[in-house]
Amino acid sequence: MFENWSYEALQIYWWVVVSVVGALFVFMMFVQGGQTMLGVAKDEDEKTLLVNALGKKWELTFTTLVLFGGALFAAFPLFYSVSFGGAYAVWMAILFSFTLQAISYEYRKKENNFWGSKVYEGFMYFNGTVGTVLVVAAIATFFSGSLFYVNSYNLSAWQSPLRGLEAAFVPFNLSMAFAVFFLTRINAAAYFVSHIEHAPLEARVRKSALKSTLLSLPFLLFFLVNLLTMDGFALGDGGVISMQPHAYLNALLKLGVFGIGLLALGTIFIVAGVYLLVFTKSKKAVFATGLGTILTTLSLLFAAGIGGAAYYPSIYDLQSSLTIYNSSGSRYTLVVMSYVSLLVPFVLAYIVYVWRLMDSKKLSLDSIKNEHLY
């Protein structure tokens, strides 16, 4: 099957696989968003209710992040060596924030916890804010570019002493980061409403979703306007990279239904989900906001990787920019891994099954008395 595919087709296939995992990760970051919303609880019982709802899902978020990084490493090893080897400060900071998250769910309600719950809730908030902003700012460099050089032997050198942390000081990157940050809060609110039975808390969560929506708008508009009008890193004949006006708008239009179509459809789903969440009593908003998040993220990743642009551009040296063609593994490697990727639908089906099983019983103040407390 895959042996008959061209090398280019395999490279495109693996970017699609990476994009799907990345889109799922962005949705799963509702856990991070939820960790920043513990303030809507009026007492300790309500806070524990929120934390327990998130406690059933946080490991899936971390697993999806690892899978996203692992897929990039396996299919596009040069990206892994350039980014994780050069921009290690930002990735270590991200890893540190996720480590704090794992510790928090384990020890927040543990007996004889001498630090107290507040410290671990602070760790959760740190992961939900700093962790989210850094992850998305790093991904935003797929469009804004990074400071690195790659020589003819594929040896790379990072050209900033901040080692990747400089991404968090670029307005474009921050606009994307904060737009996604508030989106994670919207998805978290939709998840809380779907999974928790507690009317007063639900009303406050819905109100918080409206606030997050309004706060996200300036960041979202700044990001989209700049993305669609900025000069981008276009891939030309012979693999030559050049700056092209409206490169990412052109990429979205070139991809058609998989570009501008997915972006428009994803936006419609998010708007519909926010309407259901804020202006109705529906508990199904998470399906709309979640699907919208996935489709929107897919369109952006497709534009970066298979829309005729460099997905990891270098603003230090244009020709060092990485594309899916000059950074992938060998044809043999991609063929072997493609057979392994056939297991992905089964893994996703298992995740859906476990998700439904864990959410089959709604959480309430009475039900958590008989459950493990996070």
Query: Which residue, chain included where needed, has tokens 């989900």?
Result: 273
**Which pLDDT belongs to residue 191?**
97
Task: Tell me the mean pLDDT in the region 104-118.
Answer: 87
Task: For residue 239, give both structure tokens.
Answer: 């693999």
How far apart (Å, rounded) are the C-alpha atoms in residues 202 and 262? 31
Does pLDDT of 182 surpass 90? Answer: yes
Return the sign of the alpha-carbon dihedral for residues 113, 116, 117, 120.
Answer: negative
**Which pLDDT belongs to residue 344?**
78
Task: Tell me the mean pLDDT in the region 116-145.
Answer: 96
**177, 169 Cβ separation under 8 angstroms:** no
Q: How confident is the model at residue 114 (pLDDT cuts 50, 70, 90)?
A: confident
**Which pLDDT belongs to residue 354?**
77
Task: Tell me the mean pLDDT in the region 151-161.
Answer: 94
| 326-360 b/e (C-beta count within 10 Å ≥ 16 → b) | bbbbebeebbebbeebeeeeeeeeeeeeeeeeeee
Q: Between these two residues, 159 and 353, which has the higher pLDDT value?
A: 159
Tens digit of pLDDT for each residue in 260-314? 999 999 999 999 999 999 999 999 999 999 999 999 999 999 999 999 999 999 9
pTM of the shown model? 0.95
Tens digit of pLDDT for each residue in 316-372? 999 999 999 999 999 999 999 999 888 878 877 877 887 777 777 788 888 777 777
Task: For residue 53, give both structure tokens.
Answer: 């709802």
Share of residues in the chain with pLDDT > 90 (%): 80
**Which pLDDT belongs to residue 113?**
80
Query: Minimum mean pLDDT among 111-115, 117-121, 216-220, 308-312: which range?
Result: 111-115
**Which pLDDT belongs to residue 372?**
72
Does pLDDT of 213 surpass 80? Answer: yes
Q: Report CA-CA distances (Å) from 118 to 42, 48, 107, 114, 159.
A: 14, 12, 11, 11, 40
Task: Tell me the mean pLDDT in the region 5-22.
Answer: 96
How far apart (Å, rounded) are the C-alpha atoms in residues 170 and 153? 30
Q: How confident is the model at residue 81 (pLDDT cuts 50, 70, 90)?
A: very high
Q: Report CA-CA distances (Å) from 76 to 13, 163, 271, 371.
A: 12, 20, 34, 43
Share of residues in the chain with pLDDT > 70 (%): 100
**Residue 152 DSSP label:** T
Task: Tell me the mean pLDDT in the region 101-106.
Answer: 93
Query: Minimum mean pLDDT among 13-22, 115-124, 346-355: which range?
Result: 346-355
SS3 241: strand
pLDDT averaged over every residue in the chain = 94
Cross-strand pairs, 196:
363
**Which pLDDT belongs to residue 95?**
93
Contact residues for 187 (Cβ-Cβ < 8 A; gap 6+): 27, 29, 30, 33, 286, 289, 290, 293
Task: Tell me the mean pLDDT in the region 142-155.
Answer: 95
| 94-122 b/e (C-beta count within 10 Å ≥ 16 → b) | beebbebbeebbeebbeeeeeeebeebbe
How far apart (Å, rounded) are the C-alpha atoms in residues 320 and 327? 10
Contact residues for 282 (Cβ-Cβ < 8 A; gap 6+): 276
**Which pLDDT belongs to residue 356?**
79
Give the DSSP H/E element, type plus range, for residue 25. helix 7-28
Q: Report CA-CA distances (Å) from 225 to 138, 218, 219, 229.
A: 19, 11, 10, 6
Task: Tell me the mean pLDDT in the region 157-173.
Answer: 97
